[in-house]
Copies of this chain bind each other. A is one copy, B any other.
Amino acid sequence: MTHRIADLAAALGAEFAGDGDVMVKGAAEPQQAGLQDLALAVNPKYADGLAQGKAQAAMLWPGADWQALGLKAAIFAPRGRLAMAGLTRMLDPGPDLAPGVHPMSVIDPTAQIGAGAAIGPFVTIGAGVSIGPKARIASHVSIATGATIGPDALILQGARIGARVTIGARLICQPGAVIGADGFSFVTPEKSGVEEIRETLGQRAEISAQSWTRIHSLGSVTIGDDVEIGANACIDRGTIRDTTIGNGTKLDNLVHIGHNVQVGDDCLLCGQVGIAGSARIGNRVVLAGQCGVNDNIFVGDDVICGGGTKVFTNAPAGRVLLGYPAVKLETHVEMQKALRRLPRLAAKVAEIEKVIQKS
């Protein structure tokens, strides 16, 4: 599918200059762009690339001299990354899912599937499932008994939706994600070593041999609207009530959400983040890759954690955290600086000692 530059600009709410009738089929980095590509050069540092590529049209930074850059047309992006969102949405061909229900699927007769669904081969949909209109469900997906999914869902290959899971509108679920595995909750007959050291901060009396009894997960998972779940990410069921994910929250690949966790609205949980059981995460929280949040604690609204931050205690709203254990970003920077100088400091103290001993 090709697009007129003038139409693209209008759809993006952006200005354009030059020949609005130039047609583009895709987007490309400036130096790789072909004749039918819109070159993406939203920052002056990409200007050189334009000369190397063949693009006739480009998306440029505000104020760029498109004619000097040898272009026939240009779209101007006041906020480049935002324009990228609109542009990539328009140019994305989307997954290639044939309309209708594939004959090699197993769909319970009591399942209700909205109009306009595309359901691929080897999909299973259980009893009492309800899926909104225009669902696109790729091959190998399983949706278990009683799950409810809103309109416009896109569920990719081999994703697993557990029993009684409830999901809002416009879900995007990447391949292999598991929504609604059982929680990881076990108990010993007598007090366990873990319970003991939490009380004593590390002291243990006698160690006894015990084995673990399972606490089953009677709850399920409730997910809001406009949520995206990454590839092979896992969200566990709650013990009694549901584990919850708020509207607009996005989970990256291999993220782990424990049982009973409550994640608020518009959060970003990046690759390999782990949230332990019963933690509560506020709204608009950003956890960079490989962050961890302890069980049963609270992370306030608008908290941002840098990569690998391990949050052990409640984090007040608005905090910017880094480190293991998590501290304020500026404290972390200061501590690391001091730590690097520590060997020198120790040497200095030794010298002072000598001076004092002499006098």
Contact = CB atoms under 8 A, between A and B. Distances in A.
B266 A271 contact: no
Interface of A: prevailing SS: loop
A265 to B, nearest CB: 8
Interface of A: 26-29, 32, 40, 79, 81-82, 84-86, 88-89, 91-92, 95-96, 102, 104, 106, 120-122, 124, 126-127, 138-140, 142, 144-145, 156-158, 160, 162-163, 172, 174-176, 178, 181-182, 184, 186-190, 193-194, 197, 201-202, 204, 207, 209-218, 226, 228, 230-232, 234, 236, 239-241, 248, 250, 252-254, 256, 258, 265-266, 268, 270-272, 274, 276, 283-284, 286, 288-290, 292, 294, 302, 304, 306-308, 310, 312, 318, 320, 323-325, 327-331, 333-343, 345-346, 348-349, 352-353, 355-356, 359
Contact of A241 (B32, B324, B353): B32
Contact of A250 (B184, B197, B209): B184
- How many copies of the shown chain assemble into the complex? 3
B201 A228 contact: no
Given A122-B140, A340-B331, A342-B339, A186 B250 contact: yes
A323 B289 CA distance: 16
